[in-house]
Structure 1
Amino acid sequence: MLLDIQELTQSYKGGKLAIDQLSLTAGAGILGLLGPNGAGKTSLMRILATISQPSSGKALWRGQDIAMNPSQLRGELGYLPQYFGVYDQLSGREFLHYLAGMKGLKHADADKQISELLARLNLLPVADTSLSQYSGGMRQRIGIAQALLNDPALLIVDEPTVGLDPQERAGFRQLLSEGREERLVILSTHIVSDVESIADTIAIMAAGKLIQLGSPQALQAKVADKCWQCTVSPAELTELQRDFVVSHSTRQGDRLLVNLVADLCPHPGAQRRAPSLEDAYLYFVANKPGQAPLTKVA
């Protein structure tokens, strides 16, 4: 087991909890961390990246407390924060060489790895262009490249696909999948499609708590009897949205084909359908601790 998080809590001024007694363990593979904005994902990532310390509890890497011995993890860490800054006066290649030096990579090894990463992230055409000329998507790809520079054993990426087009997002997911047998990748996002095809395990957070943990298949199985589909009018859809989770709707003439998630049948014409990971995510977030379940029957 590489990572062992034990009752981790992070509180801010006024007593607000960003993380509330969160515990989980993880080995090599891809851990998808899902949750809405404000769920505590970024606070957790900052602790695991040794940037901040928990108010209580522990996070252990290879059995060592991260807060007590951050240097051990930092030598094995690759981190892409949600908001990633660059040195605009440097080119993409110069920037990566600078960070490679900071990480202690030998120049020859760094040069080879940087060229490979620039090629794989479709940045070779602008590798020697000033970062001030990069688009938001290009800057995000440079951020991904720097996180992978030292072939990290722990790779933490927080909302990494912001600014990437669909083709770039697919390429990024493939990049993360490679080497998953030797490293732990923590991919934090609120976009379900970013993790559903590559994550070995999904952790769902809401209001600072870990509310679900399991494989994508296991989480889908938990909502297998809660997924419904029906055809309704626009007025009926508005009413359904007040009482249930609507995961998708498609217009069919003057009617709408609607996918819903609910404990009991939400509409007289509703039929059961196969669940998706998005259904599971929306259901568990809507039914987080302290909130009434979705049980109203139309």
Structure 2
Amino acid sequence: MQLDIQSLSHQYHSGKTAKLAINALSLNIKPGILGLLGPNGAGKSSLMRILATIIKPTAGKILWQGQDIVKSPQVLRNELGYLPQYFGVYDQLSAIEFLHYIASLKGLTQSKAHQVIAELINKLNLTHVANMPLKGYSGGMKQRIGIAQALLNDPKLLIIDEPTVGLDPHERANFRQLLTELAGERCIIFSTHIVADVESIANHIAIMNAGQLIQSDSPNSLLQKMTNKCWQLTTDFNELKHIQHEFIVSHSVRKQNNVVLNIVADHCPDARATARPPSLEDAYLYFTSMQQPQAGIARAS
């Protein structure tokens, strides 16, 4: 089971202006969790909408188990679960009523829908609020309903776009644990600009910037690429702005009258600096800073 993206490109047109969202992107996705990282405007949401067969790309192919989903989108739709970045619900409906409505749109029989919904409500810890109107749900509870609707047809490909925006740390941790449990033989694509949301659960990381795929590797391999590029420096606040201008600072902590900086640089930034182990956030900041959007070309997310 795999999703094969080949030389994918997509442009949006606004009057005479062409906005390039995706530029010649190729990526092979296998079972497990793919963390799709990139800053806002990198093209992640455009890619998610294309993979969810909502829009068609300008160029390129997408093969799901060898079949072209651009030409035959229904091939994938039968095995697809999708949670978009902005997921709306009918506030007056209860969770059970809403999920039965979505199940009917997905073509589930009434008896099958009843069985699946009962299982999902239990699995997602929503039993105590299953009959409560959705308008009373917290952000985390609504995200669980979003996952439930995406899982109604037991999808082989699960696409989740920026799912933790607005969630508190506890809800984000619960969401990550849920995705880990769901992975199994599924292909899960988790798109985010928050590195911490994927570093502990993804078995593969893809980094986008300015519409291009700039890195695609395992977390360990990305960390290995950062060998001898991560440093720690304790300095005073008078030097802080200069250092931030010259180098990538991934983290800073105030310590009495000084500040301790985590710096990412190809060479030792200062004689006082010491080497430190890299983090996935270091890698993300390093690779996205190396590739900036070209002047004169508009970008769209």
- Please indicate, yes or no, whether the TM-score normalized by the shorter chain is above 0.5: yes
Q: Distance in 1 between matches of 2:125 and 2:27?
A: 36
Instruction: State the match for 2:9 in structure 1.
Output: 9
2:217 aligned to which of 191, 214, 218 = 214
Q: Distance in 2 between matches of 1:70 and 1:23?
A: 19
- Deviation, structure 1 residue 119: 3.3
> Does the residue aligned with 2:158 lie in a helix, a strand or coil?
strand
Q: Is the 8 A contact 1:140 1:163 kept in 2?
A: no
Instruction: State the match for 2:64 in structure 1.
Output: 61
> Does the residue aligned with 1:185 lie in a helix, a strand or coil?
strand
Instruction: State the match for 1:102 in structure 2.
Output: 105
> Does the residue aligned with 2:178 lie in a helix, a strand or coil?
helix
- Deviation, structure 1 residue 171: 2.1
Q: Cα 1:245–1:146, aligned 2, differ >3 Å: closer, same or farther?
A: same
Q: Distance in 2 between matches of 1:113 and 1:97?
A: 10
Instruction: State the match for 1:250 in structure 2.
Output: 253
- Deviation, structure 1 residue 219: 0.4
Q: Is the 8 A contact 2:6 2:60 kept in 1?
A: yes
Instruction: State the match for 2:152 in structure 1.
Output: 149
Q: Cα 1:179–1:83, aligned 2, differ >3 Å: closer, same or farther?
A: closer
> Which stretch shifts more, 7-16 or 43-52?
7-16
- Deviation, structure 1 residue 198: 1.1
Q: Is the 8 A contact 1:137 1:162 kept in 2?
A: no
> Does the residue aligned with 1:115 lie in a helix, a strand or coil?
helix
> Which stretch shifts more, 145-154 or 44-53?
145-154
Q: Is the 8 A contact 1:177 1:198 kept in 2?
A: yes
1:65-214 mapped onto 2 (5 Å cutoff):
65-214=68-217
Question: CA deviation digits over 1:33-58, x for unaligned, max 9?
Answer: 00000000000000000000000111
Q: Is the 8 A contact 1:79 1:157 kept in 2?
A: yes
Q: Distance in 1 between matches of 2:171 and 2:122?
A: 13
Question: CA deviation digits over 1:48-105, x for unaligned, max 9?
Answer: 0000000011111111111111111101000000001111221111101111222222
How many pairs does the alignment contain?
291
- 1:228 lines up with 2:231 in the alignment: yes
Q: Cα 1:46–1:290, aligned 2, differ >3 Å: closer, same or farther?
A: closer
Q: Distance in 1 between matches of 2:233 and 2:106?
A: 55
> Does the residue aligned with 1:83 lie in a helix, a strand or coil?
coil
Amino acid at match of 1:22: L
Question: CA deviation digits over 1:12-46, x for unaligned, max 9?
Answer: 11222100000011111111100000000000000
- 1:266 lines up with 2:269 in the alignment: yes
> Which stretch shifts more, 172-181 or 208-217?
172-181
Looking at both structures, which has the greater relative contact order when contacts are Cα pairs under 8 Å and sequence separation is at least 6?
2
Q: Distance in 1 between matches of 2:80 and 2:55?
A: 15
> Which stretch shifts more, 265-274 or 74-83?
265-274
Q: Cα 1:290–1:91, aligned 2, differ >3 Å: closer, same or farther?
A: closer
Q: Is the 8 A contact 2:161 2:190 kept in 1?
A: yes
Q: Distance in 2 between matches of 1:104 and 1:97?
A: 10
Q: Distance in 1 between matches of 2:125 and 2:253?
A: 35
Q: Distance in 2 between matches of 1:219 and 1:71?
A: 35
Instruction: State the match for 1:294 in structure 2.
Output: none
Q: Distance in 2 between matches of 1:234 and 1:54?
A: 49
Question: CA deviation digits over 1:112-161, x for unaligned, max 9?
Answer: 33233333433222221112222333222211221122211000000111
Any unmatched runs of 5+ in structure 1? 292-298
Amino acid at match of 1:18: A
- Deviation, structure 1 residue 179: 4.4
- 1:277 lines up with 2:280 in the alignment: yes
Q: Is the 8 A contact 1:144 1:160 kept in 2?
A: no
- 1:45 lines up with 2:48 in the alignment: yes
Q: Distance in 2 between matches of 1:163 and 1:141?
A: 13
RMSD over aligned CA atoms reads 1.6
Question: CA deviation digits over 1:213-269, x for unaligned, max 9?
Answer: 000000011011100001011221221111211111111111111101011111221
- 1:237 lines up with 2:274 in the alignment: no
Any unmatched runs of 5+ in structure 2? 295-301
> Does the residue aligned with 1:267 lie in a helix, a strand or coil?
coil
- Deviation, structure 1 residue 111: 2.6
Q: Cα 1:290–1:168, aligned 2, differ >3 Å: closer, same or farther?
A: closer
